[in-house]
Chain A
Amino acid sequence: MPRPPSPSIPEREFLYASLKQSLRLDGRLPLEMREPTLTFGPDLGWVDCAMGRTRVLASVDGKMVKPTPERPLEGVITIHSEISPMASSDYETGRASDEEVVLTRMLDKVLRRSDTVDKESLCVQAGQRVWHLRLTIHCLADAGNLLDCACLAGIVALKHYRRPEVEVEGEDVTIHHPSERAPIPLAMHHTPYCFTFAYFPDTTTQAVLDPTSLEQRLSAGLLSIALNAQRELCVVQKAGGVPLAPDEVMRIINVAVGKAKELDRIVEKRLQEDWSTRNVEVR
């Protein structure tokens, strides 16, 4: 099948008409996001993040590698993400869709280039051994706003992950199994969250946060903002679409700040709940 067909005329007209009255199909307010559900797996750094029917699974694993000669004191973080037809019948295998390119680039900007994880703390022996963290993002289902869900899953996975403790004695490096010594969390500078707003062709229609797939496809431009609860802006992305006034962007950023604080509370609460159920034996 070629590219997915664009939504039908009745769907388009109805969505625009109802958004004009600030009504959304799932009963949300325009600037309300779906509450994320975070489920942690048996392994550290394994997170299943669901926002409505959008579902993303993220997992982190670490191994020792030799660092690159240019940066002998820094660990390596790689992000692997792929959108397969499993997420939605709109995607096909082989060819990377525009959505996939955007997702990969945004994940790289939000999670890696914003210096979320302190890379120097991942160094074990300068120029010899560093930790290589591999973050894998599996998109299980796409019901709209896959990007925010994937970013959230990725950041929570990094926060949830704990690496084994390492002991260095001269040239000898001992990696302690988690059952011997408690694994240690990654040193994180901050936790950015991504928020996507959809704009519609009719300029009197208010922007909506966390668009569903129908809203996303009928939108006339998406604005993605990544920031942390401390009001530090990491990424602002707007690839084409309707022009926006600076005031509008500032207004939306202020909305996003509030949402980031809310989301941060949810994430911290869930992480704490999960950690309290885990029994880390220290012998």
Chain B
Amino acid sequence: MARFVAKHLLFLLLTLLVVSFLVFTLNEFSPGAVARKVLGAYATQEQVDLLTTQMGLDRPLLVRYVDYVRAVLSGDLGQSARFKAPVRDVIARHLANTAFLAAIAFACIVPLSMILGVMAGMREGSRLDRVILILSTVVASIPEFALGVFLASVFVVWLGWLPGTATLVAGGGWSVAAQLVLPVAVIVLFDAGYVVSMIRASMVEVMQRPYIRTAVLKGLSFRRVILKHALRNAMLTPITVIMLQINYLVAGVVVVETVFAYPGFGRMMLEATLFKDIALVEAGALVAVFLAVVTNILGDLAYVLLDPRIRA
């Protein structure tokens, strides 16, 4: 167990180092450009050169990178040019909003896709299986922004039941809860389609194992075979997939946040990259990768804990 954790932590560190270096190099590839961006198009070349020297941007890349890592390690992530606030506060605020949205969506996705996936996979080729398979394929095929537009045109434009934006500020006669319905629905539909097909595939495979046949021939009821025998093994492979969805829910929901003007982490990153807010982009990328690798590790850990055969 200790070896497992140590190995993964090492990989986490390596990944963070590589990613931070790549993003750093990418953003500061042309040192003059940073000063030019700050001063604008009408500054003279001398002014640009002066600021470049003042900011220390004429020093070698590696030296600046080491300085940057040192600053990050001491908790100083810099100042956001876009939001005019410390990067740490900006990220914390947006990440909290996204975590709120993600938690609600996750709480819907897991039970929904487990029920549908198991129901489809327990009798492969049955009519129910075909319907669930085709439906989940179709739903997972529609891009999130299209799902958002489709749902909004029905519930916002046509029926007028829900608001079209989720700014988290109650206003225009809509509560925050009503604002959250559509974003959560889009995320759940798009993501559950994929998770359902993974759980279904795993269930189909488990149902073909000899021990299931034994259980059936022993005279156990089908319900008991599914709940007591098949379910545990069928959830082994998808548990990693389910954990990976956390990663998607935090960093991948840029589109949903943009559609519904939700003040979350993904939209913050989009604004930061478009605005070339370098400090925010760098820190945001690190946070995203950190979350991605950690959920990966948690997925592996859950797998090990569920399957006694690997737990050495």
Q: Are A and B subunits of one complex?
A: no
